[in-house]
Amino acid sequence: MVKIDMTETRSRTPSNQRITSKFPVLHYGGVPRFDPKTWDFQVEGLVQHPVRLSYEEFLKLPKTVSISDFHCVTGWSRLDNKWEGVLFKTVCDLINPLKEARYVTIACEGEYTTSLLLADLLDPDVILAYKLDDKSLPAEHGGPLRLVVPKKYAYKSAKWVRKLRFTEEQELGFWETRGYSNTADPWKEERYE
């Protein structure tokens, strides 16, 4: 029998969130199709070594498994998601940000973007994931590649990531320019600006 520790579950649930064991799918626009032959991952802006990696090259980067919780601003949370991919920190070591770089814009397939403080992205639970719960990341959950930022509401966890841009000033993201909080901390219930 699996024993569920309710006290632990409660302490991991930010206020006004409810736990779901399903994984809802939520995004603006359609699910982009993925062609491993043309797909690339680019890093540009204030970095010493800009890169452009093919899908095959990205899969060769040092990988990590990271288990974390996921909190959507609309009120659901899913605990213990097992992500596998490349830590943001690992990508950072590869491209070496210039000292002026303070923010990173994450640009996705289509028009979706979000941005974060570089310092927040260096947290060891921030991962560019290509697997979820031991299976390749389903397209509707952001496959082939999504960002996961467990300590922020999930609109910061961009799906279908193609590009990182290191900047000195912050470029506000898709939801952040539409009234959602830019700091997006679920533990402080920073939902709206």
Ligand X SMILES: Nc1nc2c(c(=O)[nH]1)N[C@H]1C(S)=C(S)[C@@H](COP(=O)(O)O)O[C@H]1N2
| Residue 152 interacts with, from ligand X, Mo ion, none (CB under 5-8 Å by kind) | none
Separation between Cα atoms, residue 155 and residue 144, nearest integer Å: 18
Our CB check for ligand X shows the closer of 46 and 180 to be 180
Q: What number of CA atoms fall less than 13 Å from residue 164's CA on the CB side?
A: 30
What is the smallest separation between the CB atom of 27 and Mo ion, expressed in angstroms?
8
Chain positions 69 to 108 lying near Mo ion, rule: CB under 5 A, are: 72-73
Q: CB-wise, 152 or 166, nearer to ligand X?
A: 152
* Shortest reach from residue 37's CB to ligand X, in Å: 21
Minimum CB separation of residue 49 from ligand X in Å reads: 26
**Distances in whole angstroms, Cα of residue 185 to Cα of each of 14, 32, 111, 149, 169:** 10, 28, 24, 11, 20
* HSE-up of residue 31 (Cα within 13 Å, Cβ side): 13
Least distance CB 23 / ligand X (angstroms): 6
Q: Which does 108 bind (CB under 5 to 8 A by kind): ligand X, Mo ion, none?
A: ligand X
Residue type at 181?
Answer: S
Q: Which of residues 119-158 bind Mo ion (CB under 5 A)?
A: 154-155
d(CA 80, CA 97): 31
